[in-house]
C-alpha cells in the first residue's frame, strides 16, 4: 500500500514538473511488434439457436529486438498473460491463442447439462432463451509505455457469464529490457525509501504551488517541515435552490426483487411522486412502448432478461434516461454508459442518492432533500437504512417492513429447496438477489456469507454448518421485523 502511495505521488510530481519546464527527450525502444487477433463462437450442443460463448483475443506480440534472450523472455511473458498460462509449452502465438480458446469452450460445454435441465423445467409461459447461459470473454493486450529501456503493457480481460455475472480486470506489467525481467516492488524500492522520496516529493509540490518550505531539526528528536502556500480566496456565489422534482416525473422501476420495488416506490410516493413498478423486463418493454416515462430504473441481474440485454431493447424504443441498479463491483459508471445507460446506482443505495440521480438525469439543480429519521422503534435499529426510504411516514415504514418479511421468508424457503435440489446456479442467483438488503442493514456476516454463496462453484459451502446458522440468523431478523411492525 505504501509503495502505491509513493509511486502515485512521485508520478504526479514528475508529470507536473515536466509540464512546467524542459524535459529530457525520451528514446523509443527498438522493438518490432506484430498484432495477432483471434475470434471464436461456440453454441451449446453445436446448435446455432442455443446460447453461445463468444471469445475475442488480441495481442501485440514482440517479434524483433537486438537482444535475442530478452526477446524470448518478452514473448513468453506476453503469451503467459494473454493465455492465462494455459500454453506454457507453446511459442507460436496463434497456436497458443487457439489452445486457450479450446480450453474456454471445453469449460463452457460443461453447462450443457444444466441448460437442458432448465429447459425441461420451464413452462410454455417462460419459453425464452435463458440469458444466464450467454457468455463472453475478451482478452486484449496493449503497450502502454515503450521508451528508455522500459516496456510496459496491460492485459485487459472482460468476462461475462450471463445473468449479469462477470468481471473486468486490468493487469499492468513493466519489464526492464536491460535484464529482460519484470519490475517489481522488490526491484524498484530500496530500504528506507520513504525517507529519501518524502523530501523530494514535498519540495516539488511546494515548488509547483509557488510556496515556501522551511526545515527545523533537533538532534535526537527528528525534523519538522513547515509548508507555506499562497492560495486565492474566493467568495462562493449564492445559488437559488430549485424545489425537489417540481414536475412530478413519471418513473418506471424494473426489478425482480419486490423488497427493492417497495422501498423505492414508497420513498417516491412520500415525495409526491407516483412510480410504476414492474417485476418482469418483458412486461416493462410493453409498458415502455405504450406509456411515456421520464426516467427508468432497472436492475441488472434478472432471470428472464438481464439489464444489458434490456437496455438494447429500450434504446430501440426511446432515448429517455435509464439508470442501472446493481450490486456488482466490477463494472463502473463509464462501462454502464458504454452499454447505453444514463447513470448508475450501486446497491445498496440511500434515499438521497436516489434523488440525486433523478435530479442529475432530469437536469434539476440543487435538489432540496434531507434524510428522514424512522418513527417505528429505535432509530438506531438494524432497519434504519431500510426505513429511511419511508420519509418518516409510519404507514410506509410498515409497508417496507412487511415487504422485507414476506420476501425474506420466501427467499429462505427457496434457498432450502435449491439446497435440496443441489442447484448451485440457482443458489448463486438467489444469493446475489439477497445481498443488497442485508448490506443496507449492515449485517456484515450475513452479507459476506451471501456473497460467498453467489460465487460458489460447488455445494461445499451449502453443506457446512454455517448454512443452517445463517438461515437461523435471518429468521431471527424476520421475527424482529414482525415485532417492530406490530409495535
Question: pLDDT digit string (tens) for 429-449?
Answer: 888 888 888 887 888 888 888
Residue 380 is assigned to a structural domain of this protein? no
Give Cα 333 distance to the centre of its chain: 9
pLDDT at 202 over 60: yes
Asked whether residue 329 falls in the same domain as residue 456, the answer is: no
> How many domains does one find in the chain?
3
Is position 295 within any domain?
Answer: yes
**Are residues 55 and 152 located together in one domain of the fold?**
yes
Question: For residues 301 and 432, is the Cβ–Cβ distance under 8 A?
Answer: yes
168 DSSP β-pair partners: 158
Asked if 304 and 433 sit in the same domain, the reply is no
> Within a domain: residue 382?
no
Examine the fold and report which residue of 355, 371, 387 is the final residue of a domain before the chain moves on: 371
285 and 158 within one domain: no
Segment 252-271 shows an average pLDDT of: 85
Mean pLDDT along residues 67-92? 82
Nearest to 65 by CA among 209, 178, 228, 181: 178
Asked if residues 108 and 135 have their Cβ atoms less than 8 Å apart, the reply is yes
Does residue 248 carry a pLDDT above 60? Answer: yes
Q: Are residues 106 and 255 in the same domain?
A: no
Q: Tell me the CATH number at 337.
A: 3.40.50.2300
Asked whether residue 342 falls in the same domain as residue 400, the answer is: no
Please state the rounded mean pLDDT for residues 270-275.
80
401 is a domain residue: yes
The 3-class SS string of the chain reads CHHHHHHHHHHHHHHHHHHHCCCCCCCECCCEEEEEEEEEEEEHHHCCCCCEEEEEEEEEEEEECCCHHHHHHHHHHHHHHHCCCCCCCCCCHHHHHHHHHHHHHHHHHHHHHHHHHHHHHCCHHHCCCCHHHCEEEEEEEEEEEEECCEEEEEEEEEEEECCCCEEEEEEEEEEECCCCEECCHHHHCCCCHHHHHHHHHHHHHHHHCCCEEEEEEECCCEEEEEEECCCCCCCCCCCCCCCCCCCCCCEEEECCCHHHHHHHHHHHHCCCCCEEEECCHHHHHHHHHHCCCCEEEEECCCCCCCHHHHHHHHHCCCCCCEEEEECCCCCCHHHHHHHCCCEEEECCCCHHHHHHHHHHHCCCCCCCCCCCCCCCCCCCCCCHHHHHHHCCCHHHHHHHHHHHHHHHHHHHHHHHHHHHHCCHHHHHHHHHHHHHHHHHCCCHHHHHHHHHHHHCCCCHHHHCHHHHHHHHHHHHHHHHHHHHHHC
For all residues of the chain together, what is the average pLDDT?
Answer: 78
* 393 CA to centre of own chain: 33
Q: Which three three-digit cell numbers place residue 329?
A: 463491483
The pLDDT of residue 305:
84
- Hey, what's the cell of 117? 435441465
Share of the chain above pLDDT 70, in %: 77
**Is residue 44 in a domain?**
yes
If you search the block for the grid coordinates 435552490, which residue do you land on?
241
90 lies in the same domain as 38: yes
Q: Evaluate if residue 204 carries a pLDDT over 80.
A: no
- pLDDT band at residue 378, thresholds of 50, 70 and 90? very low
Residue 122 has pLDDT above 70, yes or no: no
Q: How far is CA 84 from CA 4, 88, 108, 155, in A?
A: 25, 9, 16, 10
| One domain, residues 357 and 480 | no
What's the pLDDT at 398? 84
- Is the pLDDT assigned to residue 373 strictly greater than 70? no
Angle at the Cα of 463 (from 458 to 466), degrees rounded to 5? 115
Tell me the pLDDT tens digit for each residue of 160-172: 665 445 566 778 8
pTM (2 decimals)?
0.45
376 pLDDT exceeds 60?
Answer: no
Domain shared by 349 and 440, yes or no:
no
Q: Which of 170, 188, 206 is the last residue of a domain?
A: 188
Residue 152's CATH number = 3.30.565.40
87 vs 383, higher pLDDT: 383
Does any domain span residue 205? Answer: no
The pLDDT tens digits for 404-416 are 898 889 889 988 9
Residue pLDDT, tens place only, 20-40: 544 455 678 889 999 999 999
409 within a domain of the structure (yes/no) = yes
Predicted pLDDT of residue 31: 92
pLDDT at residue 128 is higher than 60: no
Measure Cα distances from 216 to 198, 212, 213, 221 in Å.
Answer: 16, 14, 10, 11
Claim to verify: residue 427 and residue 352 sit in the same structural domain: no
- If asked whether residues 181 and 36 sit together in one domain, one would say yes
What is the extent of the structural domain holding 409?
395-486
Confidence category of residue 252, pLDDT binned at 50, 70, 90: very high
- Say yes or no to pLDDT of 86 above 80: no
Residue 389 has pLDDT above 80, yes or no: no
Q: Which of 371, 406, 437 is the last residue of a domain?
A: 371
CATH number, domain containing residue 463? 1.20.120
Q: Does the structure show a pLDDT above 60 at 372? A: no
Same domain, 291 and 365: yes
Residue 454 pLDDT > 60: yes
Q: In this structure, is residue 5 part of a structural domain?
A: no
CA angle, residues 317, 293, 300, in degrees to nearest 5: 70
Residue with cell 413498478: 277
Amino acid at each position: 500500500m505504501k509503495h502505491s502511495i509513493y509511486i502515485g505521488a512521485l508520478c504526479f510530481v514528475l508529470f507536473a514538473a515536466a509540464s512546467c519546464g524542459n524535459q529530457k527527450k525520451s528514446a523509443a525502444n527498438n522493438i518490432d511488434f506484430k498484432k495477432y487477433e483471434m475470434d471464436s463462437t461456440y453454441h451449446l450442443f453445436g446448435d446455432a439457436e442455443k446460447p453461445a460463448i463468444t471469445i475475442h483475443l488480441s495481442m501485440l506480440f514482440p517479434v524483433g529486438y537486438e537482444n535475442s534472450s530478452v526477446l524470448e523472455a518478452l514473448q513468453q511473458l506476453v503469451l503467459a498473460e494473454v493465455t492465462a498460462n494455459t500454453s506454457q509449452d507453446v511459442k507460436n502465438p496463434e497456436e497458443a491463442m487457439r489452445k486457450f480458446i479450446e480450453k474456454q469452450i471445453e469449460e463452457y460445454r460443461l453447462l450443457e447439462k444444466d441448460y437442458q435441465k432448465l429447459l425441461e423445467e420451464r413452462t410454455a409461459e417462460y419459453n425464452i432463451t435463458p440469458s444466464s447461459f450467454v457468455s463472453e470473454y475478451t482478452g486484449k493486450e496493449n503497450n502502454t509505455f515503450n521508451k528508455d529501456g522500459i516496456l510496459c503493457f496491460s492485459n485487459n480481460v472482460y468476462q461475462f457469464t450471463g445473468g449479469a455475472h462477470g468481471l473486468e480486470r486490468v493487469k499492468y506489467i513493466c519489464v526492464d529490457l536491460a535484464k529482460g525481467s519484470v519490475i517489481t516492488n522488490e526491484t524498484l524500492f530500496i530500504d528506507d525509501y520513504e525517507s529519501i522520496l518524502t523530501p523530494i516529493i514535498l519540495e516539488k509540490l511546494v515548488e509547483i504551488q509557488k510556496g515556501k518550505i522551511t526545515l527545523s531539526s533537533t538532534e535526537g528528536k527528528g525534523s519538522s517541515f513547515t509548508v507555506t502556500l499562497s492560495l486565492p480566496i474566493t467568495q462562493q456565489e449564492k445559488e437559488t435552490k430549485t424545489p425537489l422534482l417540481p414536475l412530478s416525473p413519471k418513473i418506471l422501476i424494473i426489478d425482480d426483487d419486490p423488497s427493492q420495488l417497495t422501498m423505492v416506490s414508497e420513498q417516491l410516493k412520500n415525495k409526491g411522486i407516483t412510480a410504476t413498478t414492474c417485476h418482469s423486463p418483458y412486461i416493462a418493454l410493453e409498458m415502455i412502448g405504450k406509456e411515456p416515462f421520464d426516467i427508468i430504473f432497472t436492475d441488472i441481474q434478472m432471470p428472464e432478461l438481464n439489464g444489458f440485454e434490456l437496455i438494447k431493447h429500450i434504446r430501440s424504443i426511446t432515448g429517455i434516461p435509464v439508470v442501472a441498479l446493481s450490486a456488482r463491483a466490477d463494472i463502473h459508471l463509464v462501462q454502464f454508459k458504454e452499454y447505453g445507460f444514463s447513470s448508475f446506482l450501486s446497491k445498496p443505495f440511500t434515499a438521497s442518492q436516489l434523488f440525486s440521480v433523478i435530479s442529475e438525469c432530469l437536469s434539476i439543480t440543487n435538489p432540496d432533500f434531507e434524510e428522514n429519521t424512522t418513527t417505528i422503534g429505535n432509530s438506531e435499529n438494524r432497519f434504519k437504512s431500510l426505513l429511511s426510504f419511508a420519509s418518516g411516514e409510519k404507514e410506509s415504514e410498515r409497508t417496507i417492513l412487511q415487504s422485507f418479511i414476506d420476501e425474506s421468508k420466501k427467499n429462505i424457503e427457496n434457498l432450502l429447496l435449491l439446497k435440496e435440489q443441489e442447484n448451485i446456479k440457482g443458489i448463486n442467483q438467489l444469493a446475489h438477489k439477497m445481498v443488497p438488503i442485508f448490506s443496507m442493514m449492515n449485517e456484515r456476516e450475513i452479507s459476506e456469507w451471501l456473497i460467498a454463496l453467489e460465487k460458489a462453484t460447488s455445494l461445499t459451502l451449502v453443506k457446512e454448518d454455517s448454512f443452517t446458522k445463517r438461515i437461523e440468523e435471518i429468521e431471527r431478523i424476520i421475527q424482529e421485523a414482525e415485532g417492530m411492525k406490530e409495535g
